[in-house]
Amino acid sequence: MALYEHVFLSRQDISNQQVDQLVETFRGILENNGGKIVKVENWGLKTLAYRIKKNRKAYYTLLNIDAPSEAVDELERLMRFNEDVLRYMTIRVEEHEDGASAMMQKRDDRPRRGGDRGERGERGDRGDRGPRRDRDDDRPRRPREQDSE
């Protein structure tokens, strides 16, 4: 049998228990067609990049599947009719990854964006522009409306 990674997004207004019921429904569909779900990862409620069917958030769920292609085709066909499923994607893989997926790994393991300035110092090399001057030294100061009273 072939190995697949299947991710589906479900509506934001259903509960975690209803997401689990969806997974169990999909498990039954696959088992009736000769397949099985090896691993389930609930990634939780996440913000979408754009609105899908008037939803700004969705529950993300990953299924590692070991099933024939006919079983996956039937699963996708039934997902199209389910109102709670917003999107799904199935990818055939050579082998399933051991351990947690990239979405479930701790944020501390990932490099931080823009937090470390490295050797540049506070503002980096200014090249031929010279040092910064103070903002208040040469400019004429306009009175504010409060100051003129």
- Going by C-alpha positions, the residue among 37, 135, 31 that lies closest to residue 90 is 37
**Which residues are within 8 A (CB) of 84 and not within 5 positions of it... i.e. 6 or more apart?**
10, 11, 14, 18, 22
Q: Between these two residues, 101 and 118, which has the higher pLDDT value?
A: 101
Record the pTM. Answer: 0.67
Q: What pLDDT score was predicted for residue 97?
A: 79
The residue type of 89 is M
Q: What pLDDT score was predicted for residue 44?
A: 87
- Phi first, then psi, for residue 38 (nearest 5°) are -85, -45
Q: Between these two residues, 28 and 125, which has the higher pLDDT value?
A: 28
Per residue in 52-111, pLDDT tens? 999 999 999 999 999 999 999 999 999 999 999 999 999 998 888 787 777 777 655 556
Is the confidence at residue 136, as pLDDT, over 80?
A: no
Q: Which domains does the chain have, with CATH numbers?
A: 2-96 (3.30.70.60)
- Going by C-alpha positions, the residue among 81, 48, 60 that lies closest to residue 9 is 60
pLDDT cut 70: percent of the chain above it: 74
Q: How far is 2 from 17, CA to CA, in rounded Å?
A: 29
